[in-house]
Amino acid sequence: MKIVIQRVSEASVTIDGEKVASISKGFLILLGIVNEDTQEDIKWLTNKIVNLRVFGDENNVMNNALLDANGDVIVVSQFTLHASTKKGNRPSYIKAAKPDIAVPLYEDFVKQLEVDLGKQVQTGRFGADMKVKLINDGPVTIIIDSKNRE
């Protein structure tokens, strides 16, 4: 699993003109899934997300985690995170998991994140054409791949 975390002061997801998710302070997380991903990847990533210290403390130093900042989360599925651009100019998405594998893992990722945070996580809609708006706070953008743990 690969994620792109963007610390935001606000973010939203719109599908067919309908706003389906909206938060103020927190994380917008783009999630890419491959066939080899497992529940272990989910648990490792959600723990990392909840404890990632990228929010300002009383001295505006990045010492606080999402829980400390009482931040919210939107998770958006994004198979293009696993694009291969080695050959030619048209990306290949062959590494990205097909929906029969990706959808259950995506749903489990969201559920585990809700357990770890102790609150609801908002989402886009898997496979939909989504319009994502955000104000990246900082800017802070972090990429984490569960296959690169060491």
Q: Which residues are catalytic?
A: 78-80
- Where b means 16+ CB within 10 Å and e means fewer, 23-33 reads bebbbbbbbbb
Note the helical H segments in 25-142.
39-51, 99-117
**Strand pairing of 130-145 and 2-15?**
antiparallel
Show the 3-state SS of 78-93. Answer: CHHHHCECCCCCCCEC
Of 114, 122, 117, which Cα lies nearest the Cα of 22?
122
| Rounded (5°) CA angle 49-53-58 | 140
Alpha carbon separation from 29 to 12, 48, 60, 85, 143 (Å, rounded): 12, 12, 23, 22, 10
